[in-house]
Chain A
C-alpha cells in the first residue's frame, strides 16, 4: 500500500544505498539502520558483520538515501478551506514528494494568530501521522498588517517562524516594530516580498507577454521595493529576516549585496522560479498563475545563478492548492498559486541534471539549510538524529500529470512536464509513510 504507515517504529536496515548527506558531504554506497524513531548508525560497511537482528531489510540497490526533505513554505488550507486541501491530503502529497517536515503558512480560517490554532494544527497533524507539520504564526493579528500578533506566546505554543503569509507587512513602522519585537525572543520573520499597491490589480509579470495577452502586469519592482525596504529595516533593528519565494534578478542582487554587508538575511525560492518563465502561461493557462508571478527568462537565469552561488539559501515548494472552481476561470479572475510538494524534488534535480549545481548542493537546499534556518531538528543522516529519510532514484524519468497527483487540488504549473527523479520511499520518525508502488 502506498501510504501504509508502519504501526511501530522498529528497526529498518537500508542496505546498499547511495548515502547522500549534504550536512557532512557524505556521498558513498553504504548502509543505514534506524532504531525506533532515530538513526542508529550510517556509513559504508555498516552491515559488514551481518544484518542487524530483527530488522526489516530494505535493499536499496544503489538508490539515493538522503535526509528527508524540509519544505518551509506550504499552504495546507485546513482549517477553513478543506475543499482545497486538508492536513491529511497535504500529508499524503508531502510524503509522496519525499518531504518529511513542512512549515505551514498561517493564512488559514481562522488565521494562525492565536495559540489555540497552533495547537489545533499540531494535534491534527499528529493524528494524521504522515509528514511532520510545523506552523508559522502570523506577524499581525488577522494578517491585517496593523496590530502585532502575540509572537512570544505563539512561539511558546509551537510556531517556528512568523509571516503574514501571501502578503507583505505593508506599513514600514509595523514591520520595523515586528522586527524589533521578534528580536526580543530571537524569532525569525518571513516576508512575502511584494508591494501590494503595485501588485493588487495585476495578473502576471508586467512586460511584453502581458501586453500581448492583454493582461494587467505586476512589475518586478513590486518585489525589489519591499526587499530593499526590509533590508533597511533589518539594518535598523538588527533582527533576522527571511524572504520567501524570491523571483527576480533585482531581488537577488539586493540580497547578495546585503549578505556581503553582513546583514542577517536569508531567502528561498520555489521550483517554478528556476524552472519556468512567464511563457508557461502560454494561452492563458491559469495553473501557471502564481504569486509572485512567473518572470522573464533573464530572471529565471538569475535565480539559477543565485542558487549556485549561495545567495538563495533554500528551495521550498510554495505549495498553494486551488480547487477547480478557483482555477477554471478567465485568467484575470483565477486564483493565484500552484501545488508543488510532489514536484519539489524532481524539478529541483533538474539543477543537477542540467549541470548547474552538484547533487549534494541541490539536496542541501532541500534539507539541512532550511532545517537550520528554521531551527528544526532535521536534515541530517547522523546517529541519534530523527529517522526522517527519503529514498529516491535520481535518474528515473516520468511525466507529471495533474490527475496522478496525491494532492487534493491538482493545480500544478508542471503538468505534462517530463522530469527525472522519483521518490521511492519516505520515512518519518522511523516509520515508512510512503512506498512507491511499481
Chain B
C-alpha cells in the first residue's frame, strides 16, 4: 500500500505529484470494490471518524459517512443544527470537546476559510478538510482528478476550463492547485466580477468570453453560482448570467468534440448549466464524479489513519 506523509489533509496546495498519484492510485482500488455486492473492508476497525459539519451538506457528508462505514470504522455525524455551536460554543471548544472523546479522524467543513486549519492545530487526530469557506476542498479536487484520469487516461497536458463563480469557490482553488501539480493547463472563465484579484498569479489563463475560454478544451468544469455568498453586485441577473456564461450546446461546441462536462454539484439547472447538457450522458460525467467521491474518501481515510500510532493518540 502507498503511504501519505502528512498527518492531515487540509488542502491540495503544497502536495507533490507522487502524493497526489498515491491517493488516486489507492482510490482506484476502491472504485472496483464499491461496485461489488460486498463493499465492506475492515481497515478502519476500531477507528472513530467524526463528520463535523459547520455548514449544510448532503453529498459530501454522505460520501464521507459511506466511506468510513465501508472501511469498517465507527462514523458519527455532527452538524451545526444539532450541536453545541448553536448554543454559543466556539469552534475550538467544540474541537477540544470532541478531541477528548479520542476520535481518529475528524472530517470538518466550515464556512470560514482557514477554520479547519485552526481546528487541526488543537486536536491530536487526523483532520480532513471537507471544505473551508472559499479556500480549499481537497477531496473534491481528488475525485475530479480521478474521474478525468479514468476517462482520459491522464491529467498531464489536458486543457481544463473552470467556469463560473471562481471568486467564491473552494472547489476551483483546489482544482487549480491539483491540475497545476499534475501538469494540466487551467483556464478560468467568468465575468470580471467573479474572478478573484490577480488570479493569473495562480498560473492560470483568464477568459471573460466563454466561447474563447472553451475553445479546444478537454474538460469543461462548471461551478455552482453561490448566490448565498453574493452580497454586493456580482451579477445583474440570472438570465444575463446564463445568456453569457451558462453552459449550453452552443457554447460547448467550441470545446473538443469529446470534451467532458463536470460539475461538483449541487447544480442550478438553467443558471450555470442547461438541463439538456447536464443530462447528456455521452458528455456529462457528473454522476461519475459522485461515485468517485466515495472511493477517494475511502483512500484518504485509509492512508491518513494508517499514519496513526498509539503514541500519537495519547500525546497531547
Tell me the A residues contacting B by CB distance below 8 Å.
Answer: 141, 146-153, 173-174, 177-178, 180-181, 183-185, 237, 239
Contacts and interface: CB of A to CB of B under 8 A. Distances in A.
Contacts, number: 51
Nearest to B232: A173
Nearest to A173: B232
B243 interface: yes
A148 B233 contact: yes
B89 interface: no
A153 B243 contact: yes
Contacts of B236: 141, 147-152, 181
Nearest to A181: B193
Given A147-B236, A149-B236, A151-B236, A181 B244 contact: no
Given A151-B240, A177-B232, A185-B244, 7 more contacts: A147-B233, A148-B233, A148-B235, A174-B232, A181-B234, A183-B208, A184-B244
Contacts of A173: 232-233
Overall SS of chain A's interface: helix
25 contacts: A141-B236, A146-B233, A148-B233, A150-B236, A150-B237, A152-B240, A152-B243, A153-B239, A173-B232, A174-B233, A177-B234, A178-B233, A180-B191, A180-B192, A180-B193, A181-B191, A181-B193, A181-B234, A183-B208, A184-B191, A184-B192, A184-B193, A185-B208, A185-B244, A237-B192
A239 B193 CA distance: 12
Contacts of B235: 148, 181
Contacts of A237: 192
Nearest to B197: A236
Contacts of A146: 233
Contacts of B191: 180-181, 184
- Most chain-B CB neighbours within 10 Å: which of A178, A183, A184, A237? A184
Contacts of B239: 150, 153
A141 B239 CA distance: 14
A149 B235 CA distance: 9
Nearest to A179: B192
- Most chain-A CB neighbours within 10 Å: which of B233, B234, B235? B233
Contacts of B244: 152, 184-185
- Most chain-B CB neighbours within 10 Å: which of A149, A152, A173? A152
A342 B193 CA distance: 42
Contacts of A153: 239-240, 243
Nearest to B244: A152
Which range contains the number of B residues in contact with the other chain?
10 to 19
- Most chain-A CB neighbours within 10 Å: which of B191, B208, B243, B244? B191
B243 to A, nearest CB: 6
Nearest to A182: B192
A177 B231 CA distance: 12
A232 B244 CA distance: 28
A66 to B, nearest CB: 37
Given A153-B243, A173-B232, A177-B232, A184 B208 contact: yes
A148 B191 CA distance: 13
Contacts of A184: 191-193, 208, 244
A178 B191 CA distance: 11
A181 B243 contact: no
Interface in B237-265: 237, 239-240, 243-244
A183 B240 contact: no
Contacts of A185: 208, 244
B243 A177 contact: no
B196 to A, nearest CB: 11
A185 B208 CA distance: 8
A173 B232 CA distance: 7
Contacts of B240: 150-153
Interface string B175-197: 00000000000000001110000
Contacts of B232: 173-174, 177
Contacts of A148: 233, 235-236
A292 B141 CA distance: 55
A177 B237 contact: no
- Most chain-A CB neighbours within 10 Å: which of B192, B237, B243? B192
Contacts of A152: 236, 240, 243-244
Interface string B219-238: 00000000000001111110
A150 B238 CA distance: 10
A133 B243 CA distance: 26
A153 B232 CA distance: 20
A173 B233 CA distance: 8
A147 B233 CA distance: 6
A185 B211 CA distance: 13
A141 B240 CA distance: 13
A177 B208 contact: no
A183 B195 CA distance: 12
Contacts of B233: 146-148, 173-174, 177-178, 181
Contacts of B234: 177, 181
A180 B194 CA distance: 9
B213 to A, nearest CB: 12
Nearest to A146: B233
A239 B208 CA distance: 13
Contacts of B193: 177, 180-181, 184
Nearest to A139: B236
- Most chain-A CB neighbours within 10 Å: which of B236, B239, B244? B236
The 3 A-B residue pairs with the shortest CB-CB distance, nearest first, are: A184-B191, A177-B233, A148-B236
Nearest to B208: A184
Interface in B155-214: 191-193, 208
A147 B232 CA distance: 8
A154 B235 CA distance: 14
A265 B315 CA distance: 62
Contacts of A151: 236, 240
A181 B192 contact: yes
Interface in B66-120: none
Nearest to B240: A150
B244 to A, nearest CB: 5
A226 B192 CA distance: 23
A141 B235 CA distance: 12
A234 B160 CA distance: 31
A237 B192 CA distance: 9
B251 to A, nearest CB: 14
